Amino acid sequence: YHPDVNKEPGATEKFKEISAAYEVLSDDKKRALYDQYGEAGVKSAVGGQSSAYTTNPFDLFETFFGPSMGGFPGMDQTGFGTSRRSTVSKGDDIRYDITLEFSEAIFGAEKEFELSHLETCEVCLGTGAKVGSKMRICSTCGGRGQVMRTEQTPFGLFSQVSVCPNCGGDGEVISENCRKCSGKGRIRVKKNIKVKVPPGVSAGSILRVAGEGDAGPK
């Protein structure tokens, strides 16, 4: 859309809008003002000067460059990726070594031991939030669940989208922590586990017990 290259009517205005949007997205202070106050916040920060863009700078980049923007990792068919996490995090496996008598290895046995693992908090159901409290929009990503860093390179604009480090991709953060789990969404619990050792087991064998590992993080 550079007017020196594109001679179509309106190319100059389009270029001004793209430049203004890039200025907001590449400046952390202006980006924060836009996330919190919108275009009015950016205008007031520059002494009331009018800006060239008239829409969300994220939407503006998607409109001009389309959903298949090369060199923009982390983006899906919408151009800027999903705004929130859609997958459930898997918990960690727990390894516990047991020692068998010779007769137990030959004929099999049932072994019982105490296991300490993380379970989903039964009060907040893993959200980490106090029951009845409201979530608030993440101030880092403005509720999008992702942050974008834009740089000017010799080859043009280059933007990289990544999961928001503050909300972890949820777009929202906890306003009040659950008292039971202190906002973690998981609690450590000790319980007794029984494992049936089959006859003829050899040294180094692995016996898996489903559902007894750590619960996934929120």
pLDDT of residue 192: 92
Residue 211 has pLDDT above 90, yes or no: no
Element (H, E) at 114: strand 109-120
Whether 128 shows a pLDDT value over 50: the answer reads yes
Note the pLDDT tens digit of each residue in 23-33: 655 666 655 65
> Which tens digit of pLDDT belongs to each residue from 136-161?
999 999 998 999 887 777 777 777 88
In this prediction, residue 1 has a pLDDT band, given cuts at 50, 70 and 90, of very low
Q: What pLDDT score does 75 carry? A: 42
pLDDT number for residue 49: 44
Q: How far apart are the C-alpha atoms of 183 and 143, rounded to whole Å?
A: 19
Picking from 3-12, 76-85, 115-124, 150-159, which range would have the lowest pLDDT averaged per residue?
A: 76-85
Average pLDDT over residues 56-64: 52
Sign, CA dihedral 104-105-107-113, equals: positive
**Quick one: average pLDDT of 82-110?**
79
pLDDT of residue 98: 87
Structure tokens of 110?
Answer: 């049932």
pLDDT tier at 186, thresholds 50, 70, 90: very high
Q: What is the pLDDT of residues 197-210, one digit of tens each?
A: 999 988 888 888 88
The CATH number that domain 96-133+176-218 falls under is: 2.60.260
What number of H helices and E strands is found in the chain?
5, 6
Alpha carbon distance 68, 56 (integer Å): 19
pLDDT score of 46: 46
For a pLDDT cut of 70, what percent of the chain falls above it?
59
Higher pLDDT, residue 72 or 107: 107
> Boundaries of CATH 2.60.260 in the chain?
96-133+176-218
Are the CB atoms for 25 and 161 separated by under 8 Å? Answer: no
The average pLDDT across 111-134 equals: 91
Instruction: Copy the structure tokens of residue 180.
Output: 């039971």
**Cβ-Cβ contacts under 8 Å for 207 (sequence gap 6 or more):** 195, 197, 201
Exposure class string for 84-93: b at 16+ Cβ within 10 A, else e: beeeeeebee
Q: What is the pTM of this model?
A: 0.48
Look at residue 28 in the predicted model and tell me its pLDDT: 66
